[in-house]
Amino acid sequence: MATSQMLLNLVVLAVIVGGITFYLSNRPPSPKAKTTLVIDLGGHLVEQSAPRTDSLITSSLLHQNDPGDIELRDILDSLKAASKDPNIDRVLLKTDGLQVSGLAILREVAAALDRFRAAGKPVIAWADHYDQRQYYLAAHADRIYLDPLGQVLFQGFGHYRNYYRDALDRLGIKVNFIRVGTFKSFGEPFIANGPSPASLEADTTLYNALWSNFTHDIENARHQPQGTIDQEITQLPETLKAVQGNAAQLALNQHWVDSLVTPDELNTLLEINGHKDPKDKEFRQISLDDYTSRLPAPAAGPSIAVVVAEGEIHDGDTTAGTIGGVTTAQLIRSAREDDDIKALVLRIDSPGGSAHASELIRRELALTRAAGKPVIVSMGNVAASGGYWLSLAADEVVADPDTVTGSIGVFALIPTADGLMNKAGIHTGGMTTTWLSDADNLLRPLDPRLTQVLQTTVGHLYQDFIQRTASARHLTPAAVDAVAQGRVWTGEQALAFHLVDRLGHFQDALDSAQMRAHLDGHGTVHYYDPNPSGWQRWLALFDQSLSGNILSRMIEEALLPSHTPLGAVTQQLQNQENPLSTLLTPLLRGTTEFTPLTHCFCQAP
């Protein structure tokens, strides 16, 4: 037995040594003169990558396409370094694979491209087609190229939701939606067949403001008259007909692109103006990943800590991609207890979640301020409901003009399935010592006394939310209540209501932290992440539990393919973007948690 264990250890050690050797031998060389930094945005732009080792391997084994994540910090850091790197003379921006991303994170990348151009280095954009988000970034390039068979497509903002009231009635499922806030619309899809007037009013105000900012930015970047995009959408049937359906020619005629260029023609252009690499027979280039991997690690000494709060807020421990009350609070505590950390920036991209977890995190931020370390909140795509709660212990709140924020309100959402059980001929019975003993039985109607308890609890939390906001923002409770009620606002609107301190980018928050900590711009930036280190991720490949997970996923795919009716239903219920998943999961498990939530059913368009 001991010999077998020793042999196994030797095999693992050999694999590790081989991996180290492979990594060192394949590390990209330093860029030579006239190198183009190629930023290929093939994936999701995120604040913080979630650990996905098993899903990536499974996707590879099952030949599935997984675009992956691109962290904002990698783009910002690489563009900042490249602007000072004498061997990087330009950027090639490729946006074809860019997935849906919020407006605030797009604005961060656009600002970084502008700073790179301000250093006297050009940005060139190319795509086989541009949707409106991809084009938002391309508009910040010196030259925009489009494939001759491509298009530039502007569509506008807004969306339709599905409403499940009739379907749930037929199933015999009743949804008890207990809320405080006229505009707190998270539960409406389960209790109505369409949006309420309040929900429509809030959405109309929000999306019109976001669309106005979005089109204004593009039109300014391309030196187009204001209103050009709206006019083009209105006239699209006629203008497209005039060019016999040639969408690329239409984009050229409208001056959205500078030239129609095929991929090989693009390579020729870049070779002429750059330096041809004889080895690859293309222009000399380095990818974003390779360039990022060569950036030096942050230096020791006085530093600014950055904690990313991205995703929904849950109680307990979580990994990156969601916010755990315990996990995120511990990261903040670790930064506070580090003597080298002189200030902290909390970067928020969250629609909210658990009120208890939100308060746990806010409390750690308050303790950090009390310890004499400034706390700056930087709002990204969304900082609403519980995401806004997190900002209430900051010295300064910096929001993007298009941050979706506010949604100060609380609710509880509880489905009961007594009607479904009656239809199925299933009945319950028994005794309890108190009425509360079996109150969490989802197969019985909700006891009116429990409804009253929950309404009182939700009402108390709402008043607590109002009072905390009023104290943090130096407002009266009445003034906060007037703009609360669960309603969402843009960053610009929130500034007008004094819910944030100023508008700006992530870099503005870092600059403020440097100033408040009296570092005079000399402090380095250290990210505190819940993810394991790179080596830990690599070593996890040899963990038996991971292998078992991969195997079980493969078996599941083989036995229950998604194209079967049952497979499709299972896949839908597992999809966290499906609101029915949130509603029906407790019913499927037979349990529920009566947890008041500060969550916004909102999304950055």
Which residues sit opposite 346 in a β-bridge? Answer: 307, 377
Which residues sit opposite 303 in a β-bridge? Answer: 341, 524
User: 380 and 105 in contact (C-beta within 8 Å)?
Assistant: yes
Residue 63: CB atoms within 10 A of its CB come to 6
- Nearest Cα neighbor of 489 from 348, 602, 373 is 602
Catalytic residue among 385, 391, 407, 512: 385
- Nearest Cα neighbor of 136 from 180, 176, 98 is 98
Q: Are strands 174-180 and 410-416 parallel, antiparallel or unpaired?
A: antiparallel
Catalytic residue among 174, 184, 342, 373: 184
- Nearest Cα neighbor of 506 from 288, 329, 346 is 346
User: 402 and 214 in contact (C-beta within 8 Å)?
Assistant: yes
Contacts of 556 (CB under 8 A, 6+ apart): none
Tell me whether residue 385 is one of the annotated catalytic residues.
yes
Q: Helices 579-589 and 565-574: crossing angle, nearest 10°?
A: 100
Angstrom distance (rounded) from CA 236 to CA 498: 40
User: 179 and 410 in contact (C-beta within 8 Å)?
Assistant: yes
**DSSP codes joined into one string, 220-232:** HHTT--TTHHHHH
Place of tokens 């009182």: 456
Number of helical H runs and strand E runs in the chain = 24, 24
Q: Which residue numbers are catalytic? A: 184, 385
